[in-house]
């Protein structure tokens, strides 16, 4: 990569990094793989006012399944990507509108810190985990499955994901709204990830009982 990203960050608000996206899951994966392969270079140069751009969201077109559409939205959000839609609003389904207008997803994407997330774990089971630090000691976590056979039960803990701050956490499932309470760094949890799909958490610390929340 012969690109002066420091210069780009000074003079550009965003820049396309890779090939034009096509209306296919293969294209989405190729862009994601490229971003992961170069994340050590790309992550530090992203921030408020200057963004890496992996190209358009395909949600509402023809090439992605429901699970794949939810996955692209979550992965682009954790990568702090500019969320540009590329679809016909006259024919988009209500299901796809819900994906694109998810309030918590948009809140995470627009987080004031502007830190780009990165892949932190790649399992032999074909499950990958992406993490993005957020304001107020919160995180966005994306559990992503590259499997094509069946839903997979992924077991982990926050400590294994290098989230080791003391105290309790809660996680809200970004798509279902379900809340998982009482998470400590060593707590073992399970997420069920559909093939070519994601589970996305908004993870945030909570006050211990008896401590004033001023």
Report the distance separating Cα 108 and Cα 140, nearest Å. 7
Task: Calculate ∠ Cα 197-56-142, nearest 5°.
Answer: 30
Q: Say which residue, 83 or 2, is predicted with more confidence.
A: 83
Is pLDDT of 73 > 80? yes
pLDDT of res. 90: 95
| Of residues 84, 74, 24, 98, the one with CA closest to residue 51 | 84
Report the Cα 29 to chain-centroid distance in Å.
14
* Closest among 99, 127, 130, 100 to 115, alpha carbons compared: 130
pLDDT at 214: 40
When the pLDDT of each residue in the chain is averaged and rounded to a whole number, the result is 95
Q: What is the pLDDT of residues 181-203, one digit of tens each?
A: 999 999 999 999 999 999 999 99
In this prediction, residue 150 carries a pLDDT of 97
Q: Return d(Cα 151, Cα 193) in angstroms, integer.
A: 5
Pairing assessment for the beta strands 127-133 and 139-145 based on DSSP bridges? antiparallel
34-46 average pLDDT score: 96
pLDDT at residue 213 greater than cutoff 50: no
Q: Where in the chain is the domain with CATH 2.60.40.1180?
A: 118-206
How sure is the predictor about 138, in pLDDT bands with cuts at 50, 70 and 90?
Answer: very high
With helix as H, strand as E and coil as C, how does 133-166 read?
ECHHHCEEEEEEECCCCCCEEEEECCHHHCCCCC
Q: Is the pLDDT of residue 212 over 60?
A: no
Query: For 101, how many CA atoms within 13 A lie in the half-sphere containing its CB?
Result: 8
CATH of domain 118-206: 2.60.40.1180
pLDDT above 60: residue 210: no
Q: Which has the closest alpha carbon to 196: 146, 151, 155?
A: 146
């Amino acid at each position: 990569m012969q690109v002066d990203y420091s210069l780009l960050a000074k003079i550009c608000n965003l820049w396309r990094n890779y090939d034009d996206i096509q209306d296919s899951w293969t294209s989405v994966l190729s862009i994601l793989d490229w971003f992961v392969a170069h994340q050590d270079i790309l992550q530090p140069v992203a921030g408020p006012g200057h963004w890496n751009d992996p190209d358009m969201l395909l949600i509402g077109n023809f090439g992605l399944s429901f699970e794949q559409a939810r996955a692209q939205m979550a992965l682009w959000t954790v990568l702090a990507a500019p969320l540009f839609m590329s679809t016909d609003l006259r024919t988009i389904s209500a299901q796809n509108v819900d994906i694109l207008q998810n309030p918590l997803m948009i809140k995470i994407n627009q987080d004031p810190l502007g830190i780009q997330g990165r892949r932190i774990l790649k399992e032999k089971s074909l499950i990958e985990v992406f993490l993005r630090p957020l304001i107020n000691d919160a995180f966005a976590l994306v559990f992503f499955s590259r499997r094509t056979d069946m839903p997979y039960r992924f077991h982990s803990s926050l400590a294994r994901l290098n989230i080791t701050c003391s105290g309790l956490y809660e996680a809200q499932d970004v798509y279902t709204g379900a809340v998982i309470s009482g998470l400590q760094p060593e707590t073992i949890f399970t997420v069920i990830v559909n093939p070519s799909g994601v589970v996305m958490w908004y993870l945030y610390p909570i006050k211990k009982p008896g401590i004033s929340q001023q």
